[in-house]
Amino acid sequence: MWTLLSSSVYTQKSVMSLNPPWIRIFTGDKVTLSCHGNNSLQENSTKWFHNGIISKVTTSHWDITSATIQDSGKYVCQKQGLYKSKPVYLEVMRDWLLLQTSADTVLDNESFDIRCYGWKNWSLHKVIYYKNDLAFKYFYESPTISIRNAKLNDSGTYHCTGYLRRLNYTSEKFRITVIKVYKSKYHWLQLIVPLLVVILFAVDTWLLVSTEKQFKLVLKIQKTGKHNKP
């Protein structure tokens, strides 16, 4: 029974988040990776993997205080008692202008953010955002654009242009993909299976207690019978 309970726990995945949320940053930028999952209060209960190699970091937060090109790559975290998180791909680069995004792949009806970002966070003006080479937003400065409840037609190649210190620059293009999710007709099993596990555990506990009581009663009767013999 405990095997069933533990297996139900291990169906949960760790979840990773970034602060700031951008998966594309410049060298020298700061980013904190956080691993969430089981609300464990235990210290050093997290495993981190960078490009498949386990890191010495064991806390729930990994601070990259001054990013280098070598910090680029695939990051995965794992909280104690949970499966590994989905990978996050961090890109660290050098350029004058960068189209930042919070994700490269998004499920439909989820959200993502984009931002035109200047080297060393210099002030940026006359910013134009493009999707598939067609301009769709103009700002005098560079606010974050939030795409809420993303649809399939939000997929595309994005880039931006803007003025840094009176010079016009163009960012690299970056592909963002929105994926349609099809619900399985068996999705109700995800709700029923944990409930059945709890019910089975309760029944098993009741049978154990009931059997123990019956066993004690039989022993008591046997002892009483011995004392009553002529």
For residue 77, the tally of other CB atoms under 10 A from its CB is: 28
Is 174 domain-assigned? yes
Segment 115-135, tens digit of pLDDT: 999 999 999 999 999 999 999
Is 136 domain-assigned? yes
What is the number of structural domains in the chain?
2
The domain in which residue 113 lies consists of 95-210
Mean pLDDT of 19-38: 96
104 and 46 within one domain: no
**Residue 140: which of 124, 129, 157 has the closest Cα?**
124
78 and 149 within one domain: no
Is 205 domain-assigned? yes
Output the pLDDT for position 100. Answer: 98
Q: Are 173 and 157 in contact (CB under 8 A)?
A: yes
**Residue 71: which of 95, 51, 101, 46 has the closest Cα?**
51
138 and 72 within one domain: no
46 and 67 within one domain: yes
Segment 3-28, tens digit of pLDDT: 333 444 455 899 999 999 999 999 99
Tell me which of 43-57, 108-122, 153-167, 206-220 is least confident: 206-220
197 and 137 within one domain: yes
Tokens of 93: 């680069």
The predicted model scores a pTM of 0.73
166 and 108 within one domain: yes
Is 139 domain-assigned? yes
In which band, very low, low, confident or very high, does the pLDDT at 141 lie, cut at 50, 70 and 90?
Answer: confident
Is 230 domain-assigned? no
Tell me which of 99-113, 141-155, 163-177, 206-220 is least confident: 206-220
Which tops the pLDDT comparison, 54 or 198? Answer: 54
Q: Is the pLDDT of residue 201 over 50?
A: yes
